[in-house]
Amino acid sequence: MTAPAHPPRRSAAALALLTLLALSACGPRAASEPAAGRAPSVQADAPDTTGQDSAGHDSTSHDSAGHDMAGMDHAAGDHGSMNHGAASQGAAPAAPANAAPLPLTVTDGRVVAVPPGVTDTSVFATLTNTGPDDIQLSGVSSPAATGGLLMITRTDAAGLTGMSGVDTLTVPAGGTLTLSDTGDHLMLSGLKAPLQAGERLSLTLTDTQGRALTLDLPVLKP
Question: Does residue 80 register a pLDDT over 60?
Answer: no
> pLDDT tens digit string along 131-144?
999 999 999 999 99
pLDDT of res. 164? 94
The Cα 150–Cα 168 span in angstroms is 7
Cβ atoms of 129 and 174 closer than 8 Å? yes
Q: Which residue would you say has higher pLDDT here, 141 or 50?
A: 141
What's the mean pLDDT in 92-104? 72
> pLDDT tens digit string along 2-38?
555 555 555 555 555 555 555 555 554 444 444 444 4
What's the mean pLDDT in 101-126? 96
Of 57-71, 99-113, 158-172, 200-214, give the lowest mean pLDDT range.
57-71
The secondary element (H helix, E strand) that includes residue 7 is none
For 118-141, b/e burial (b = at least 16 CB within 10 A) is ebebbbbbebbbeeeeebebbbbb
Question: Does residue 127 register a pLDDT over 90?
Answer: yes
Choices 2.60.40.1890, 3.90.79.10, 3.20.20.80, 3.40.50.150: CATH for 104-220? 2.60.40.1890
What's the mean pLDDT in 86-98? 51
Q: Which residue would you say has higher pLDDT here, 210 or 40?
A: 210
Beta strands in 116-220 (DSSP E): 121-129, 135-141, 145-155, 161-166, 169-171, 176-179, 185-191, 200-207, 212-220
SS3 60: coil
